[in-house]
Structure 1
C-alpha cells in the first residue's frame, strides 16, 4: 500500500484558514488602516447564497470588495456571511471558503489564488470535502501593476552539491 502526502489539499486548507482568521479579526475589530479585500468566488457553488438578481448578473463568478461599507460580517468554520451595498441596495450573501477563487489585499500586495487540478486517484479515503474539487493549489497573486515582478527564485540544492 502506497501512501503519499497530499500537499495540495494541505496548502488549500491552510490558506482558507488564513482567510477565516483575517475575516474573523475584521468582524471583531474592523479594517485597520488602508487594508481592503477583493474576493472572487464561484457563484455556482451549491452553498453560495446570493440574491437572484446577483446570481443572474454573475452566473459563474463574482468579485466583491470589502472596504468602505459592509455590515453583518459573520465568520464561521465553513464560510462567511456579509451584507454589501450595491447601488444603495444592501444585499446579504453567504460565501463558503470552498467557493473562493482569489483573495487579494492590494494595500499590502498580498494575494492568494485557488486553483483545482483533475485528480488521477479516486481513492481519497480521508473523507474531507475537497474530493469534489480535485487537488487544489494555492499560489501568490501579483498585485495590480506588479504582474511581472518576481521576489524569489527557486534554486535546486543539487547545484551546490559536490
Structure 2
C-alpha cells in the first residue's frame, strides 16, 4: 500500500481557506479601495440558503457581487452569510465554501475557479481546483491591451 500526497485536495482546501480569510478581513474592516468580489456558487448545494424566488430564478448557479452594498456579513468555518440587495429587496444568503465555483476580485485581477469532476474513477470526495493566474505585472501589448488571465488546471499536476 503506497501513500501519496494529495496535492489537489490540499490546494482545494487552501484556496477555500484563502476565501475565508479574505472575507473575515472584509467583515472586520470593510472593503479597501476598489476591491470587490464576484462570487459564483451552486444554488443547489444542500447547505446553501437563499430565498425560494432566487433559487427558482437561478436553479444551477448564481453570481453575487460584494461591492457597494452588503450587510450582515458573517463568516463561519464552513461558509458565510450575507444580506444583498436584489432590486431594492434585501435578501439574506448563506453560501458554503464548498458551493463556491468562482471567486474573483477584478480590481487586482485575482480569481479562483473550482471545477467538479465527472470521472467515476476519481477517488476524491472533493473537487479539483484551478487557480487563475494573478500575474498582473505582465506588460500590455503594443495596443495597450492586457493579456487574458491564464487558467492553470491542477489536474495537470495529479497522477
Q: TM-score range by the shorter chain?
A: 0.7 to 0.9
- Matches of 2:91 and 2:148, distance apart in 1: 36
1:70 is aligned to 2:70: yes
1:136 is aligned to 2:128: yes
Q: RMSD between aligned alpha carbons? A: 2.4
Q: Report the secondary structure of 2:95's partner residue.
A: strand
TM-superposed deviation, 1:37: 0.1
- Matches of 1:115 and 1:146, distance apart in 2: 25
Q: Deviations over 1:15-68 (max 9, x none)?
A: 000000000000000000000000000001000000000000000000000000
Q: Which runs of 5+ in 2 are unaligned?
A: 137-144, 153-159
**Following superposition, which runs of at least 4 residues in structure 1 exceed 6 angstroms of deviation?**
none
Which residue matches 1:17? 17
Kindly indicate whether the alpha-carbon contact (under 8 Å) linking 1:113 and 1:141 is maintained by their aligned counterparts in 2. Answer: no
TM-superposed deviation, 1:119: 5.6
Kindly indicate whether the alpha-carbon contact (under 8 Å) linking 1:81 and 1:92 is maintained by their aligned counterparts in 2. Answer: yes
Kindly indicate whether the alpha-carbon contact (under 8 Å) linking 1:12 and 1:136 is maintained by their aligned counterparts in 2. Answer: yes
TM-superposed deviation, 1:139: 1.8
**TM-score for the superposition, normalised by structure 2:** 0.81
Q: Which runs of 5+ in 1 are unaligned?
A: 125-130, 153-162
Aligned residues: 142
